[in-house]
Structure 1
Amino acid sequence: MIGKTARQCSSWILPSLLAINLALTAGCAGKTSTARYSASSAGSSCYAKALPTAGEGGLAWGSTLDMARQKSMNNCIRYAGQSGGTPTTCHVVLAECKN
């Protein structure tokens, strides 16, 4: 009688544990990416984008407009140089602050 009860319990325990594990994994997967994105701009209300005439540009966030512009220029110079572009031609094409 004890063997029969143990077999009946084990038939539903394993699927239940797998379902709980899948639900927890799926719930955590969506939250990780959201937290990472919001942390990147937390406290920074201004952004700027700088582009060279050739190569990759740079986008940066900052607490002030001037800080965002400077950071985007530095990123543009670095990325343009790494991508085979022209770092000396970088200029800010967009700079705004969110409300």
Structure 2
Amino acid sequence: MLGKPTYRGSALILPALLAIGLVLSSGCSSKSTKARYQAANAGSACHAKAMPTAGEGGLAWGSTLQIARQKSLHNCMRYASRSGGTPNTCKVVLADCK
């Protein structure tokens, strides 16, 4: 039987193209090694917690006690309003530094 000769090289073209595509796209898909957020503000030694009379409160870390208190008040107002509480009644109930 004389027929068309088969070329083994054509069977390798598709896997080779897929491998090249994976190699080229792997460089683009890697994420930045820099963390989006610092791990719980690793250098922050102070924390504060604020609570409203009704709803959820807020906990925050900061490099100083004043920053931690301010962040916790803002978090408290945001979470209290989302949970149906009273954001205007937020007060810092705990503030401490290591």
How many pairs does the alignment contain?
61
Mapping 1:1-99, distance limit 5 Å: 39-98=39-98
Q: Report the Cα offset of residue 70 of structure 1.
A: 0.1
Identity percentage of aligned residues: 74
Q: Report the Cα offset of residue 94 of structure 1.
A: 0.2
Q: Report the Cα offset of residue 50 of structure 1.
A: 0.1
- Point out where structure 2 has 5 or more consecutive residues left out of the alignment: 1-37
Q: Report the Cα offset of residue 55 of structure 1.
A: 0.1
Quote the Cα distance in structure 1 between the aligned partners of 2:69 and 2:42: 18
Structure whose alpha-carbon radius of gyration is higher? 2
Quote the Cα distance in structure 2 between the aligned partners of 1:95 and 1:88: 19
Q: Report the Cα offset of residue 92 of structure 1.
A: 0.1
SS at match of 1:40: coil
Q: Report the Cα offset of residue 41 of structure 1.
A: 3.5
Quote the Cα distance in structure 1 between the aligned partners of 2:39 and 2:54: 31
Quote the Cα distance in structure 1 between the aligned partners of 2:43 and 2:71: 15
| 4+ residue segments displaced more than 4 Å | none
**Matching residue's letter, 1:94:** L
- Point out where structure 1 has 5 or more consecutive residues left out of the alignment: 1-37
**Matching residue's letter, 1:87:** P
Q: Report the Cα offset of residue 43 of structure 1.
A: 0.5
Quote the Cα distance in structure 2 between the aligned partners of 1:43 and 1:57: 23
Task: State the TM-score, normalizing by the size of structure 1.
Answer: 0.60
